[in-house]
Chain A
Amino acid sequence: MFLIDATGLDHKKLNEKLGSVKESCTITDCLGQRFIGAGMSDKNIVIEGIPGNALGAYLNGADITVSGNAQDAVGDTMNDGRIVVFGNIGDAAGYAMRGGKLLIKGNAGYRAGIHMKAYKEKVPLMIIGGKTGSFLGEYQAGGIIIVLDLYGEGRPIVGNYPCTGMHGGKLFLRGECKEIRFPDQVTAVPAGKNEIDELRGYLTEFCDIFEFDLEKVLDSPFTVVTPDSKNPYRQMYVAN
């Protein structure tokens, strides 16, 4: 395992070093350097410390593991690969992501999964172990978002206005979510047996990595949210 000590390196130098490494690599003493792994395709990167914003932006197949927290815009416009974070992450995670996986043990901030997409075999997956902030899955156009709320605590599983403008994909929330207000253009219903089976497929890897008991995680009601239409704005216009 190749080691990069991030002390004193700015993002450009750090990414240059990372780009020059062929095999797996561990970054130690990471302290807020942005854009780590941007566009990279063929590496395993382990990060000790706190990576800065836009971790794994445009990620194209590389595998990134963060032992602590990560900041805003994790996996921005990610195309393929995997980002695993053992702590919490900031806002706008997985913006417009269209492939790969974001597996987060802790909480996510605002606008997680905004404008997530999917195309044919490319179906992105985002799993948040804790809670998320407001605007979860805004404009979601495809892919799977799962929020598990595994750690209890007082506030609701998601903040305000989840799924605003959602027109594709699927969102699972662990719990009955009776107190959550969804917009008119989506349908939120309790997950049935088929959906629980579907969830089992998604959650196996997550539970392996973070050492949760899969059956215990699944032993709960889930709410599944899907859009009513993939053309939510069709009737709004008149030709002039």
Chain B
Amino acid sequence: MGVEFIYPEFEVIRNESRCIACRVCERQCANEVHYFCPETGLMMSDESKCVDCQRCVSLCPTRALKIVKSDCSLRENANWKSDTIKEIYKQASSGGVLLSSMGSPKEMPVYWDKLLINASQVTNPSIDPLREPMETKVFLGKKPERIERDEKGRIKCELTPQLELSLPVMFSAMSYGSISYNAHESLARAATASGTYYNTGEGGLHKDFYCYGPHTIVQVASGRFGVHEEYLNAGAAIEIKIGQGAKPGIGGHLPGTKIVGDVSATRMIPEGTDAISPAPHHDIYSIEDLRQLVYSLKEATGYRKPVIVKVAAVHNISAIASGIARSGADIIAIDGFRGGTGAAPTRIRDNVGIPIELALAAVDQRLRDEGIRNNVSLVVGGSIRSASDVVKAVALGADACYIATAALLALGCHLCRTCQTGKCNWGIATQRPDLVKRLNPDIGSERLINLMTAWKHEIKELMGGMGINSIEALRGNRLMLRGVGLTEKELSILGVAHAGE
């Protein structure tokens, strides 16, 4: 086996006394880990192919299986961890760029976990959301500077186009191609039923899903895949994708092997051709150029759709956001560096960008300082994991959050981080028909609706505890947050006091 041999990361533990050799595991595993040995009549496994997606574990009728992390380890070293060493081996034997899926598994600060939410005690009443009305609805889009009245003193109500969300959570961009038809259908139906939006990503909009247009955000990225006049007008809003938190500064690359059938038709490129989204939009080298794309989209859609500009959270994010807020965009979406991806170079994903909490706080403050916060709404993503993350984000200044990994988990994703292989056993990140059909959109959409319903209740409870009955009153209300275990600098960027202050 030699120097390139890497001991399998996981072990398949099969309880022989429980296994009935029904071969479900074999049929369920697209990675072909399990096989039946006719001589012995026993199920065998090749654990070197196992990605720990837990599909076989979940479907084994006798609970005979478990997957555990192998304890065969390289000699421990604080500097040269075994992952680092294995990456060197992989590159030395292939010469390739390391490619990973989903958000970074590295230990990086999660500021959500170091922020605590306030509650009312004695001096102002908390509110019981089960008894009293609570408003979680938000509108995304440019807001007027001041109230204006006509000659009869009536308030002028005309606004530029707005998105109406029943709770401050949307499903963020995942293209058809990176995820399956059934995953898209689940997201589209759940967004419609939950009064929120899902996002096409840069893969076009399948003709079957035009009916969900009022709850669809259509994306325009540097490759302009699937973009045409009908597509632009089909959605409720248009998102210009400049960057993604998991891979700031680089483009996208869907390999030709995934450009099959309807994916090819929806992107409008031939089957088998790589779908390459260049790193920059080659017509955008400045804020003025961005303004041109924003307005070309508004012209093409008759000024009926808000335009979102999505950027990755990077070092100068507040200056960049200030420029975007002046570009004519209605909404800025910022994606933090813990965000997920169908595939990204490992080094980029794990080392480029900044955490969303710091980016959000810095941008919100900058836009306020410059008096242009009302020009735009702020949407943040890049690992929003729970209702409390949402509440903290809103208190830091966000109008709404984007979730993707959490939505995929609701659909059955087990975060095995091998989306790039296209062999997702849960029918999500795959185009293989036999795998796609494992995800039932009736069940998938229901699970997403459940998640949104649960989060909405939790958001209301957290708000009620603070004595706040409208999410609008929480936005940018950083007095509702306290930090724990953070440095002065971190607290000053987040604009929150330390717990106990």
Listed in ascending order, the chain A residues whose CB lies under 8 Å from chain B are: 11-12, 15, 19, 34-35, 38-39, 41, 53-54, 57-58, 60, 72-73, 76-77, 79, 91-92, 95-96, 98, 111, 114-115, 117-120, 122, 138-139, 141-142, 165, 167-168, 230-240
Contacts and interface: CB of A to CB of B under 8 A. Distances in A.
A39 B227 contact: no
B229 A95 contact: no
Nearest to B343: A237
B232 interface: yes
A168 B300 CA distance: 28
A58 B227 contact: yes
Interface string B475-500: 00000000000000000000000000
Interface of B: 87, 90-91, 94-100, 220, 222-225, 227-230, 232-233, 253, 255-256, 264-265, 268-270, 272-274, 276, 278, 282-283, 292, 295-296, 299-303, 345-346, 418, 420-421
Contacts of A77: 220, 224, 227-228
Contacts of A117: 224-225, 268-269
- The 5 lowest CB-CB distance pairs between A and B, nearest first, are A238-B96, A39-B300, A96-B224, A38-B299, A240-B98
Contacts of B225: 117
B134 to A, nearest CB: 40
Question: Among A114, A230, A238, which residue has the most Cβ atoms of chain B within 10 A?
Answer: A238
B87 A240 contact: yes
Nearest to B230: A60
Contact of B229 (A39, A165, A232): A39
A239 B87 CA distance: 10
Given A41-B229, A230-B256, A240 B299 contact: no
Contact of B274 (A34, A54, A95, A231): A231
Given A117-B269, A234-B256, A240-B346, 16 more contacts: A34-B299, A35-B296, A39-B301, A72-B283, A79-B228, A96-B223, A115-B224, A118-B269, A122-B268, A230-B256, A233-B274, A236-B96, A237-B97, A238-B99, A239-B99, A240-B100
Question: For the complex, would chain A's binding face be called helix, strand, loop or mixed by DSSP majority?
Answer: loop
Contacts of A122: 268
A63 B100 CA distance: 46
Contacts of B227: 58, 77, 96
B274 A35 contact: no
A95 B96 contact: no
Contact of B273 (A12, A115, A168): A168
Nearest to B418: A239
A58 B234 CA distance: 14
A119 B268 contact: yes
- Which of A19, A35, A91 has the most chain B CB within a 10 Å cutoff? A35
Contacts of A58: 227-229, 232, 296, 300
Given A34-B296, A236-B97, A139 B276 contact: yes
Nearest to B420: A239
B270 A168 contact: yes
A238 B276 contact: no
B96 A114 contact: no
Given A53-B292, A237-B96, A240-B87, A118 B300 contact: no
